[in-house]
């Protein structure tokens, strides 16, 4: 495949159905559920996510959702709510972030309410979106990055066929200000 | 070392280092003519690896880049550096610290040499001096070198300067000719944190 010249002209679906979930592009109707989930999972999220250092107010969550809605239209990031197919319950977020349109390459980020962790939901969503972006959008490279200590996230990458390409030592700082090492996992079209 | 919250207030000397054979300093207004001559001489080699060398710049464009480099250096946004041969005073190439994340601090070192100055170990000498400068004067926790794994001379510099190969990022970008390209990442971290 070739570089994508006009990202804003792409038609990326706002809804996907996987085996057990529906992935829906964010809108304000999930604001309260998202805010509740962030609160419930704050201990886990604050260990890894720069945005989860402080607990968000509902206004911050609403503002964040508005921003992601605009970003979706602009092709800056494609963010979805993970919702359970049977109950419709909100479970977490997954986002596909364009990294380099000339490749094209995308990075996937995700988190799930602690209550739903360990049941393969995140992997199911990551696998689905990875395949979609590689097969339909023409991605040559899909990337997942995580702190070396975040074994849950690394496990998702591995289960979804990503290969650990390297660890960048002293790459950044965590929410406590301590130095952290960043793992780069990727899937590429070339074997 | 702690994060640098106000890099613009860091005092950095205009002359970064004087090594056995080199003077390494910030770009200055008026450097354009020197840099341009070196680019003209080395165009074929630069064209193979560098996105900015896909067409020959005019002297004015090169001067503009030097002035931008001087301004960015002053703001501590990006620390481009010019390399001069000590004995002759001749401009021999460019290096510097780029993509700086002052919150770590973490930065990337880049380099190119004019063709007539290659093969003498000048880049190795410059990279070693700039690396020391970054650890001591800037409190760097990590310095990285990124290059196309096929760029054997660049890879050799990283190895000669004892940077550790961390991995190859596959299909990470496109080369100047549009082909998909891998990126090799090498790094050095602060000595006291090395395991």
In sequence order, what are the beta bridge partners of B58? none
Residue of A nearest to B194 (CA): A169
Distance from CA of A170 to the nearest CA of B (A): 6
Whether A173 contacts chain B with CB within 8 A: yes
Distance from CA of B99 to the nearest CA of A (A): 12
Whether B33 contacts chain A with CB within 8 A: no
Beta strand B106-113 with B142-147 is parallel
Please answer yes or no on whether A169 and B189 come within 8 Å at the CB atom: yes
Whether B101 contacts chain A with CB within 8 A: yes
Q: What angle do CA B11, B187, B180 make, to 5 degrees?
A: 115
Please answer yes or no on whether B167 and A186 come within 8 Å at the CB atom: no
Residue of A nearest to B2 (CA): A177
Taking CB atoms and an 8 Å cutoff, what residues of chain B touch A148? none
Q: B105: which DSSP letter?
A: T
Dump pLDDT digits (tens) for B136-176: 999 999 999 999 999 999 999 999 999 999 999 999 999 88
Please answer yes or no on whether A141 and B172 come within 8 Å at the CB atom: yes
* Long-range contacts of the stretch B19-22 (C-beta < 8 A, 24+): B19/B86, B19/B125, B19/B126, B19/B128, B19/B129, B20/B86, B20/B125, B21/B85, B21/B86, B21/B87, B21/B120, B21/B122, B21/B125, B22/B83, B22/B84, B22/B85, B22/B86, B22/B92, B22/B122, B22/B125, B22/B126, B22/B129
What totals of helices (H) and strands (E) does chain A contain, helices first? Answer: 5, 8
Examine the predicted complex and report whether its ipTM is higher than 0.95: no
Please answer yes or no on whether A177 and B141 come within 8 Å at the CB atom: no
**How much is the pTM?**
0.92
Whether B180 contacts chain A with CB within 8 A: yes
Whether B125 contacts chain A with CB within 8 A: no
Whether A42 contacts chain B with CB within 8 A: no
pLDDT tens series, chain A, 191 aa: 688 888 878 899 999 999 999 999 999 999 999 999 999 999 999 999 999 999 999 999 999 999 999 999 999 999 999 999 999 999 999 999 999 999 999 999 999 999 999 999 999 999 999 999 999 999 999 999 999 999 999 999 999 999 999 999 999 999 999 999 999 999 999 86
């Amino acid at each position: 495949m070739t570089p994508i010249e006009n990202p804003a002209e792409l038609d990326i679906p706002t809804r996907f159905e996987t085996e057990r979930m529906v992935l829906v592009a964010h809108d304000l109707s999930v604001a309260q559920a998202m805010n509740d989930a962030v609160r419930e999972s704050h201990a886990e999220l604050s260990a890894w996510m720069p945005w989860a250092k402080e607990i968000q107010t509902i206004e911050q969550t609403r503002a964040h959702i508005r921003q992601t809605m605009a970003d979706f239209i602009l092709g800056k990031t494609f963010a979805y709510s993970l919702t359970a197919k049977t109950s419709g319950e909100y479970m977490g977020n997954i986002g596909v972030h364009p990294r380099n349109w000339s490749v094209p390459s995308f990075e996937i980020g995700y988190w799930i309410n602690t209550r739903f962790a360990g049941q393969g939901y995140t992997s199911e969503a990551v696998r689905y979106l990875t395949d979609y972006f590689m097969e339909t959008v023409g991605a040559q490279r899909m990337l997942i990055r995580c702190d070396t200590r975040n074994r849950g996230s690394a496990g998702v990458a591995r289960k979804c066929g990503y290969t650990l390409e390297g660890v960048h030592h002293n790459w950044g700082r965590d929410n406590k200000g301590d130095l952290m090492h960043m793992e780069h996992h990727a899937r590429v079209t070339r074997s | 070392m702690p994060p640098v919250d106000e890099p613009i207030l860091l005092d950095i000397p205009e002359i970064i280092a004087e090594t056995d054979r080199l003077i390494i300093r910030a770009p200055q207004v008026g450097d354009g003519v020197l840099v341009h001559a070196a680019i003209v001489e080395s165009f074929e080699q630069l064209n193979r690896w560098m996105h900015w060398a896909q067409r020959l710049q005019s002297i004015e464009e090169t001067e503009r880049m030097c002035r931008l480099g001087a301004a960015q250096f002053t703001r501590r946004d990006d620390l481009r550096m010019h390399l001069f041969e000590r004995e002759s005073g001749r401009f021999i190439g460019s290096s510097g610290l780029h993509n700086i994340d002052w919150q770590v601090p973490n930065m990337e070192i880049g380099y190119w040499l004019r063709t007539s100055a290659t093969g003498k170990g000048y880049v190795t000498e410059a990279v070693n001096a700039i690396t020391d400068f970054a650890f001591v004067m800037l409190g760097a926790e990590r310095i990285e070198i990124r290059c196309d794994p096929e760029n054997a001379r660049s890879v050799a510099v990283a190895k000669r300067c004892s940077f550790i190969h961390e991995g190859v990022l596959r299909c990470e970008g496109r080369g100047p000719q549009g082909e998909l390209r891998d990126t090799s990442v090498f790094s050095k971290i602060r000595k006291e944190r090395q395991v």
